[in-house]
Amino acid sequence: MSSPFHLLRLPRLVLCEIFKSLNIGEKVNLSLCSKKTSAQINNDRLYSQKVNVHLDMANEKIDMISEDFKDWFQIGIHLDKEIDSLTIQSFSIGRCSLPMSKTIKTYWKNLVEGFLCLTRQLLKMFYCNISTDRDCWRSDLFQPIIFELVDLQVEFKRLTIRLKGGLNSTLIFS
Amino acid sequence: MTSPASSSEVKYLIESSEGNTFDVSGAALRQSNTFNAMFLNIGADGPIPFTDYNEATLKKVFEYCEHSVNEENYSGPKHQDDLSKWDLNFFNEMDQKMFIDVINASNFLDIERLTSYCCERIARMLRGKNTQEMIKVITLPTAEELEAKQKVEEKKAAAAKKVAEKAAETAEKTETLEELPVQQLVQTTRNKLTRKYLSFSNE
């Protein structure tokens, strides 16, 4: 079966079974193939795995970890004014090159837009628990992203907020 | 021949899309939840029609069922690496068209084991690949195909709109035709009444 396979011609229940057996990264990669594959994966969100989505504004990346911590995936969000649309490339951290399927790098004109767009897409695909890092409030991206996510009424697992004026002014919601 | 029975020796006649019939053992057929729900308790007089699928596909599906009759009870999907030599041969000797037909038939007949192996096999094709590699594996409509499809849909929509407009026009015409005599009647009675009123007032 070396010739291309007509995946979207399969019955919906079969597609659902296939999506169930894919891991987080494979689902993200498949959803980026086309609008139709993305829509099919979104349709089967009910049967998807629960994913902890960690927004790391300081390091400009989103980490996704499955509930049982066995599976993970990372999306890098980077600013690139020369690139108009979303492009995906292989991604490596420092000297440690990671497998291609575990990480992707995305380029955006606006980082806030990148974070929000990807988070919205992940919310459509998985059951997401969103969390942020303790020091994320220092980032300029933190406020607009969190405001938007609160408006979307997403479920937060952990959210750290810095209140102005107080001595011990950091609040952690879990 | 096609009476309800629990004995595995009972044979059922299956009819394919070509109209051909062939025998399948009751034990093999009972792996299909669709068959269990439709015929097991009530039985079937004459051949059971699975006429959406061709003979080759149905024979392939029931070949698998016949083989897995003697295997232990199904306990969830197996990993592809756990498949036996026979299973691997069974899948490898199919071309893509036959594979898709078998998935569709297996899905319709609700044969859990076969469906899950087929799904696992497709998932394996996607496993460990990035987006570009996945696009090569799965056939996605090209921009030209999408454009052509969109044009066809637009044409269809335009045609449907025309038909709807014509229907609305004819409906309007019939309405006006139906309304005309009533309106005329009202007008004539109104004229008569005004004439009478005028004649009274003159008197």
* Segment B109-125, tens digit of pLDDT: 999 889 988 998 888 88
Taking the C-alpha atoms of residue A128 and residue A85, their distance in angstroms, rounded to an integer, is 26
Give me the total of CB pairs closer than 8 Å, taking one residue from chain A and one from chain B. Answer: 86
Quick count: other Cβ atoms within 10 Å of Cβ B87? 20
Distance in angstroms (rounded) separating the CA atoms of residues A64 and A74: 6
Mean pLDDT of B81-108: 86
Percent of chain B past pLDDT 90, that is, above it, reads: 12
DSSP codes joined into one string, B8-34: TT-EEEEE-TTS-EEEEEHHHHTT-HH
The answer to whether A35 contacts chain B (CB < 8 Å) is: no
3-state secondary structure at position A154: coil
Average pLDDT over residues B169-192: 72
pLDDT > 60? residue B34: yes
Chain B residues 32-91 with CB within 8 Å of chain A: 77
**Tens of pLDDT, residue by residue, chain A (174 residues):** 556 788 888 899 999 999 988 889 899 988 888 888 899 999 988 888 889 888 888 888 888 998 888 888 989 888 875 544 444 443 333 333 344 458 888 888 888 888 888 888 898 999 888 888 777 766 777 778 888 888 887 878 877 776 665 555 555 555
Which residues of chain A does B118 touch, with a Cβ-Cβ cutoff of 8 Å? Answer: 14
The pLDDT of residue A157 is 80
Confidence tier at B202 by pLDDT (50, 70, 90)? low
pLDDT confidence band for B74 (50 / 70 / 90):
low
Q: Which residue of A has its CA nearest to B80?
A: A21
> Facing residues of A132 across strands?
A55
**Residue B116 Cα, gap to closest chain A Cα (Å):** 7
Query: Is pLDDT at B157 greater than 80 in this prediction?
Result: yes
Verify whether the Cβ–Cβ distance B126 to A26 is below 8 Å. Answer: yes
Residues in chain A within 8 Å Cβ distance of B135: 33-34
Residue A90: the pLDDT is: 39
Q: B96: nearest CA in chain A?
A: A1
Cβ separation of B140 and A17 shorter than 8 Å?
no
Among the listed residues A51, A10, A5, A6, the one whose alpha carbon sits nearest the alpha carbon of residue A27: A51
pLDDT in the model for residue B60: 92
Which residue would you say has higher pLDDT here, B162 or A82?
B162
Residue B104's pLDDT band, with cuts at 50, 70 and 90, is very high
pLDDT of residue A91: 39
Mutate to test the interface with B, among A8, A9, A14 (most CBs of B within 10 A): A14
Asked if the Cβ–Cβ distance from B134 to A4 is below 8 Å, we say no
- Does the pLDDT at position B105 exceed 90? yes
- Evaluate if residue B76 carries a pLDDT over 70: no
Q: What is the pLDDT of residue A99?
A: 46
Q: Say which residue the tokens 């139906």 belong to.
A: B178
* Residue A45 or B9, more confident: A45
Q: Which residues of A touch B128 (CB under 8 A)?
A: 26, 99, 101
Side-chain-side CA neighbours of A42 within 13 Å: the count stands at 13
CB B34 within 8 A of CB B114: no
What residue of A is the nearest CA neighbor of B79? A21
Query: Please, are residues B58 and B19 in contact by the beta-carbon 8 Å criterion?
Result: no
pLDDT > 80? residue B5: no
Among B77, B104, B128, beta carbon nearest to A11: B104
- Is B177 a residue whose pLDDT tops 80? no
pTM, rounded to two decimals: 0.68
Residue numbers in A near B130 (CB within 8 A): 29, 88, 90, 100-101, 104
- Which residues are within 8 A (CB) of B37 and not within 5 positions of it... i.e. 6 or more apart? none
Higher-confidence residue of B153 and B178: namely B153
Please provide the average confidence, as pLDDT, over all residues in chain B: 80
pLDDT confidence bin for B87, thresholds 50/70/90: confident
Q: Which residues of A6-28 are buried (b: 16+ CB within 10 A; e: fewer)?
A: ebbebeeebbbbbbbbbbbbbbb
